Amino acid sequence: MNVSGRIALVTGGSRGIGRAIVCSLAAAGAKVAFVYQSNREAAEQLAAEQNALGHEVWAIQADVSQRAEVDSVVEQVLAKWNKIDILVNNAGIIRDSLLLAMSPEDWQKVIDTNLTSVFSFCQAVLRPMMSARYGRIVNMSSVSADFSNPGQANYAASKAGIEGFSRCMATEYAKRGITVNCVAPGFIETDMTTAVVNAAGDKIKSKIPVKRLGQPSDIANAVLFLASEESGYITGQVLKVDGGLTLGGTG
11, 89 Cβ separation under 8 angstroms: yes
Active site residue 155: yes
Using the CB atoms, write b or e for 38-50: b if 16+ within 10 Å. eeeeebeebbeeb
Which three-class secondary structure string do you get for 43-83?
A: HHHHHHHHHHCCCCEEEEECCCCCHHHHHHHHHHHHHHHCC
User: What's the pTM value of the predicted model, to 2 decimals?
Assistant: 0.95
- Cα torsion at 166, 224, 248, 196 (round to 10°)? -100
Q: In the chain, what are the helix, strand and coil shares in percent, each to the nearest 5?
A: 55, 15, 30
* Side-chain half-sphere CA neighbours of 231 within 13 A: 27
Task: Specify the pLDDT at position 250.
Answer: 47
Domain ranges of the chain: 7-241
Residue type, 165: F
- Distance between CA atoms of residues 17 and 14, nearest Å: 9
Q: E-assigned strands of the chain?
A: 7-11, 31-36, 57-61, 86-89, 135-140, 178-185, 238-241
Task: Specify the pLDDT at position 205.
Answer: 87
CATH class for the domain made up of 7-241: alpha beta
Q: What is the residue-level pLDDT of the chain in tens, covering all 251 positions? A: 899 999 999 999 999 999 999 999 999 999 999 999 999 999 999 999 999 999 999 999 999 999 999 999 999 999 999 999 999 999 999 999 999 999 999 999 999 999 999 999 999 999 999 999 999 999 999 999 998 789 999 999 999 999 999 999 999 999 999 999 999 999 999 876 665 565 556 778 888 999 999 999 999 999 999 999 999 999 999 999 999 999 975 44
- Collapsing DSSP states into helix, strand and coil, what is residue 115? helix
- Distance between CA atoms of residues 151 and 135, nearest Å: 36
- Distance between CA atoms of residues 119 and 162, nearest Å: 9
Q: Which listed residue (36, 155, 173, 233) is catalytic?
A: 155
